[in-house]
Amino acid sequence: MKEKVEAALKKIRPMLQADGGDIELVDVSKDGVVKVKLTGACGCCPMSQMTLKNAVEQKLKKEVPGIKTVIAA
C-alpha cells in the first residue's frame, strides 16, 4: 500500500510545489491511516489542514483503496 500512496503523492506534489510547498510521506498504517508532513510554504500555511483534508486525503482515498484518513505528522 505504501508504494501506491507514494505514487498518488507524486500526482499531488506539483500542485503543492506551485505554491512553494511540498509533502513527505511519514507512514502508512495497516488500518489505512496515512501520516504526511507538509513542508515549505505548506508547513506554516493557515490553510494547510484544509489542503490536507480536501485535496490530499480525497485524492489518496480515490487512488488507493483502503485509505481511511490522512493526518499531519
Give, in order, the Cα–Cα distances in Å from 68 to each of 34, 40, 58, 71: 8, 26, 10, 10
Q: Is the pLDDT of residue 2 over 90?
A: yes
User: Which tens digits make up the pLDDT trace of 21-38?
Assistant: 999 999 999 999 999 999
Q: pLDDT tens, 12-25? A: 999 999 989 999 99
Average pLDDT, the chain: 94
| CA distances from residue 46 to 15, 20, 29 in whole angstroms, order as listed | 17, 14, 27
Query: Where is pLDDT greater, at 45 or 28?
Result: 28
For 14-36, the three-class secondary structure string (H helix, E strand, C coil) is HHHHHCCEEEEEEEECCCCEEEE
Q: What are the structural domains of the chain? A: 2-72 (3.30.300.130)
- What average pLDDT score do residues 68-73 get? 94
Task: Return phi, psi of residue 3, to 5°.
Answer: -65, -40
Does residue 45 carry a pLDDT above 90? no
